[in-house]
Amino acid sequence: MSFFTLPALVLVACTPLATAWGAVGHATVATIAQKYLTPAGQTFVTNILGSGVSMASVASWADTYRSTAAGKFSAGFHFIDAEDSPPTSCGVSLPRDCGGTCIVTAIANYTQRVQDGRETLAHHREDLQFLIHFLGDITQPLHDEAEKVGGNQISVLWNGATTNLHSAWDTQMVERLAGGTTPAAYQAWAQTLEARIDSGIYSSQKNSWVSCTNIQTASNCALSWAQDANAINCQYVLKMDETGQELSGSYFTGATPYIEMQIAKGGYRLAAWINAIAAAE
């Protein structure tokens, strides 16, 4: 197996102004993932993060880290700018949209690095925390989209207050669906989504969510995940021009099934990815 490092100097990319899913969304993805870890997967996570450290507790580390001097190199790893034409045409092309530094290559990189026995435990902890975060980021449709800087430049209203479309998808709508920002809130929401995965409306779809879990072709899998989420921009997110519109009513109602499915998908897929890495150890 070959290993490579994405150097700090390749950062020069346009960073989204908001963070995918926000803290609540990322914690929910990680909480769902924790449930579906195999014994080997759980051992792998515990050996790296430490006993008693939940994946949810580190799920937003990458957002905090990229705001530091040490972590600024990673800012361009959280997204891929699909230069498509929503709502007419959606699609992600790695040669066109990545430029060498994007979430697709980052997932491939850190999947390799977390398996590299030459790395220290501290580095493996960073690698795993990046993966926990990025497999959440890539399911947020606007993190796979260049239009208006991933929706950051589309001004909208939420309960009468000005925000932007990206932030509404990351934070406001997610927090309403979770019922708050506390651990109790996102854990209860995670349980609701887990029930749908186990025996509800997602049970017939979940296998398709993890149809690509070959860690040897990580970039191919990550690209397919980006394409899957990007399609939602044409289906709903950017289907209409929402500039200046209030999103807390009918738009939120229509967005709800997409958000809930993407959060569930991210958690179930993250577990499968970690399980695959652990199985290869």
198 catalytically annotated = no
Q: Give the Cα separation of 39 and 272 in Å (integer).
A: 12
225 catalytically annotated = no
143 catalytically annotated = yes
26 catalytically annotated = yes
- Residue matched to tokens 């450290």: 53
- 245 forms beta bridges with none
Which residue among 78, 113, 124, 125 is the active-site one? Answer: 78
124 catalytically annotated = no
84 catalytically annotated = no
Which residue among 84, 97, 127, 137 is the active-site one? Answer: 137
Which residue among 113, 124, 166, 269 is the active-site one? Answer: 166
Which residue among 124, 125, 143, 269 is the active-site one? Answer: 143
- Residue pair 275/38 in contact by the 8 Å Cβ criterion: yes
Q: Which long-range contacts (CB under 8 A, 24 or more apart) does 194-203 make?
A: 194/32, 194/35, 194/264, 196/260, 196/264, 197/32, 197/36, 197/264, 197/268, 202/261, 202/264, 202/268
Q: How many Cα atoms are found within 13 Å in the side-chain-facing hemisphere of 63?
A: 21
Which residue among 84, 127, 144, 170 is the active-site one? Answer: 170
Which residue among 113, 124, 125, 133 is the active-site one? Answer: 133
124 is written with which tokens? 């493996």
Of 190, 179, 172, the closest CA to residue 54 belongs to: 190
66 catalytically annotated = yes
Q: How many CB atoms lie within 10 A of CB 101?
A: 22
- Containing 259, the helix (H) or strand (E) segment is helix 250-279
21 catalytically annotated = yes
Catalogue the active-site residues: 21, 26, 63, 66, 78, 133, 137, 143, 166, 170
